[in-house]
Copies of this chain bind each other. A is one copy, B any other.
Amino acid sequence: MQSKILELLRSAGDGYISGEEIATQLGVSRTAVWKHIQELKAAGYDIVSHSRSGYSLREAPDLLLPQEIRNLLRTRLIGREIVHFEDIASTNNEAKRLAIQGAADGTIVVSEAQGAGKGRLSRGWFSPKGKGIWFSVILRPCFLPQDAPKCTLMAAVAIVRAVRKFDIQVGIKWPNDILYEGRKLVGILTEMSAEMERINYVVIGTGINVNLLPEDFPPEVKDIATSLAMIKGEKLPRVKLFAEIITAMEDLYLAAQKEGFAPVLDEWRRYTVTLGQDVNVIGINETFTGRAVDIDADGALLVETAEGCRRVLAGDVSIRPHKKE
């Protein structure tokens, strides 16, 4: 009902719509309309009431509310369900909990803040209130568990696509860190539950530093992290960016299920900053250096070393601070 009232308010643009007209169009009493308007105001919507003209929407709150996001979405799978929190420990953990309970393919969990945001390899992810897009998406793809790592590359491609619509030229460091001038802007943590030949669910957790300012970062990441607002010099509209990300993700996901991941990998290659660089690879059991030459069909990084070409499926890959030849 609130979504429908918002829709009517928006259709009036800068003008007014009377409580009576809303009541008639939605088939409810004027008192019911009044109650819903009060609730929207309480949720942060700036709605002015005029005794004769009725109601007018001046501004939506800067929150990632499902009705706000859906207002911009035309997807049919990802974001069909959006679960929004003011604050939660970890959107990935909540998404896994919902997935076990049977949540549908494409369900999104988003929170204004995370108390214990999770990064790769048990690292944390700093997620202050209202400053970023901290979300997880539940996917139930029909491909094999072996293909799941490519979902992570896909998520990175989707985010770069969306961010570039705001004229910000970011790059991907293998496998899925998104960087700007060497500073981290986005982190992705993908988890899955699978049988040997079937994925139960994949949860892709993403943290995007949108409107953080230098003073928002804790000291330990201040020098290695950045935000879109710091790059752009102004705040970005989170809802709009989020809708672009969801749209890109759905387009890539549906295409990958139909035609495979080759187009995703090709787009990844266009966005990456890793290929062509000398890299240090810190693996599970060893460390080595070489030149990153390509990714293969599995999304593994191919590194040319003195002893031949090595295939890297996991580990930390850092770009060595050499000049390009």
Measured CB to CB, the residues of A under 8 A from B are: 120-121, 142, 144-146, 148-149, 152, 175, 189-198, 200, 284, 313-315
Contact A196 B148 (CB under 8 A): yes
Closest beta carbon of chain B to A126's beta carbon, Å: 19
Q: Is the CB of B144 within 8 A of A314?
A: yes
Chosen A-B contacts, 10 in total, with CB atoms closer than 8 Å, are: A121-B195, A145-B145, A145-B192, A146-B146, A191-B195, A192-B194, A192-B195, A192-B196, A193-B193, A197-B314
A193 touches B192 (CB 8 A): yes
Q: Identify the 5 closest CB pairs spanning chains A and B, nearest first.
A: A197-B314, A149-B196, A190-B196, A193-B193, A191-B195
Check A142–B284 contact: CB distance below 8 A.
yes
Q: From residue A20, how far is it (CB to closest CB) to chain B in Å?
A: 54
CA distance A313 to B144 in the complex (A): 8
CB neighbours (8 Å) of A314 from chain B are: 144, 196-198
Residues of B contacting A200 in the complex (Cβ-Cβ under 8 angstroms): 191
Chain B residues near A120 (CB-CB < 8 A): 195, 197
7 more CB-based (< 8 A) A-B contacts, given A145-B148, A152-B196, A197-B314: A120-B195, A145-B145, A145-B192, A189-B195, A191-B193, A191-B194, A192-B193
| Closest Cβ–Cβ distance, residue A202 to chain B (whole Å) | 10
Contact B121 A198 (CB under 8 A): yes
How near does chain B come to A50, taking the closest CB pair, in angstroms?
Answer: 54
With CB as the reference atom, state the residue of chain B lying closest to A299: B196
Q: Which residues of B contact A313 (CB under 8 A)?
A: 144, 146, 197
- Complex interface: chain B residues within 8 A of A149 (CB): 196-197
Q: Which residues of B contact A145 (CB under 8 A)?
A: 145, 148, 192, 194
Enumerate chain B residues within 8 angstroms of A175, measured Cβ to Cβ.
196
Distance A189 CA – B194 CA, assembled complex (angstroms): 11
How far is B272's CA from A204's CA once the two chains are assembled, in angstroms?
38
Chain B residue at minimum C-beta to C-beta distance from A315:
B197
